[in-house]
Amino acid sequence: MNLDLSNTRELMLALLPESVLTGWAMVLLLVVAWRHKTAQDLRLAGWLTLVGLASTGAAVWWLWWNSTTAQGIVPMVAVDDFRYVADWVFLGAAALTVLFSFDYLEREQLLAPEYYLLIVFATLGMMLMAGGGDLIVIFLGLELMSVSVYVLAGLDRRSAKSAEAALKYFLLGAFASAFLLYGIALVYGATGTTNLTLIGVQVESLGLQSNLLLLLGLGLLLVGFGFKVAAVPFHMWAPDVYDGSPTPVTGYMATAVKAAAFVALGRVLVVAFSGAPAWHGIIVGLSVVTMIVGNLVALAQRSLKRMLAYSSVAHAGYILVAVSVDGALGSAAVLFYLVAYGLTSLAAFALLAAKGRGGESDVQIDDLAGLGITHPWLAFALAVCMLSLLGFPGTAGFIGKWYILAAAVGGGKGWLAALLVLTSVISAGYYLPVIMAMYMKSVPFAEAHAGMRMGKLGRLALALCIAGVLYFGIRPNQLLGLAQGSGATLTPAVMAPSPPPGN
């Protein structure tokens, strides 16, 4: 199905998933305004959120199944498989977060149905970022996502750490948004447009590869995106914000928010700036320092939550290696790794939430001693998560890293692939102690893990995550094919089809 986006009706059809999710957000607003006091109200909002996410996923599937594309130059909204697969990643991460949150919110007495509404709005912002064909649309999506997540980070108003996390995230996020917006202004000044396709055409046709105004704008854009993906040196907010936020929110930030920023960054660089090679060196430099700093600092952490936070920084470095590879292979590697890392990280944070209380920031690695004896299935799930994050064969994390290595070597960056392997070896120094504590240390006292539990919906979501990590680690071909096909639809602007005569 080929859409003419200059036609309002067909433009609305291209925006069908976003429209469906917006409609459910309005329904949730009414329900939350009416019922917002009891645990039953909280569960009602959660179930409505799941229905909304599922129906939105069905709308995305319908567009994908009908091979929906757009005619000519994309004005504001991209219509391609890269967008559809990214939307599924966001919706899946949001749905799993909701499932993990049912029991957690009631246990922590966070009876705020607005929590689910904020997740819906944040996911809507992510979908706008993934489908944005214009820098303004991407910026609007980024702000919608960011404002929602700022509030989610400070949801626990009884916790000083949660308030601190929200304030830090808001202040530093505002600076990052300013950098991004100023970068958009400079790019507009150099090219006369904010449309990604037209920017790419202008860069090629006018020879702007070395234009100072364009390069300054590109640099500021990279600063803004670098903050959102928590790349070094723009990562300083991540450990404190992840540590202070409610743990399901932390998992959502570490997966979905990071995925949205990477998807938008990949689209901007490939479509608009493929003709300006200056960004390659910057991305390579960011990936190098992010992998090294993230892994070395994570080695010194004894708090499980802060260790996972710095681990998230290191994984941002791995994904930046794939981003540095211009082309379909790099885009496909980004998508596959986001799925593998998302499943693993969401499960790891959910297990941390089951272990701790009051934000879980005080859970130490040594507190897991003997967990394999008292809770063998939960210990097995956490062991699978640690091995997948490490990149152990038989897990989705291994296939994801292998795919990034293949992309880096294919793109002529063999030394960067070697550094990725070396830093992954370093990461064994903080992933394996978690497994050793669970299986090689005795229970410190009889009731050490008595309070560790997970609700039925949480166990279902955990089982889905672990099954996905193991399945894609053994039979990754379907997901690899989907990632390759969607990555191939993300093409530089100079390769985009011209508008038909008369339009």
Per-residue pLDDT tens over the stretch 2-21: 877 777 888 888 899 999 99
Q: Is the dihedral of CA 226, 230, 236, 242 positive or negative?
A: positive
Model pLDDT for residues 65-77, shown as the tens digit of each residue: 988 888 777 778 8
Model pLDDT for residues 343-386, shown as the tens digit of each residue: 999 999 999 988 866 656 678 888 888 888 888 899 999 999 99
Helix, strand, coil percentages in the chain from 3-state DSSP, rounded to 5: 75, 0, 25
Q: Is 109 left (phi over 0), alpha (psi -120 to 50) or beta?
A: left
Establish whether the linkage from the previous residue to 233 is cis, with ω within 30° of 0: yes
Q: What are phi and psi of 91, to 5 degrees?
A: -65, -40
Residue 480 to residues 154, 406, 476, 485: CA-CA distances in angstroms?
Answer: 37, 13, 6, 9
Q: pTM, whole model, 2 decimals? A: 0.91
Model pLDDT for residues 169-191, shown as the tens digit of each residue: 998 888 889 999 999 999 999 98
DSSP 3: E
Q: Where are the domains of the chain?
A: 2-495
Average pLDDT of span 118-143:
93
- Please determine, for residue 162, whether its predicted confidence score (pLDDT) is greater than 50: yes
| Among candidate residues 493, 345, 463, 480, the one with its CA nearest the CA of residue 399 | 480
Residue 355's CB is within 10 A of a number of other CB atoms, namely 22
Contact 484, 328 (CB under 8 A): yes
Q: 365: buried, middle or exposed (CB in 10 Å: 19+, 13-18, 0-12)? A: middle
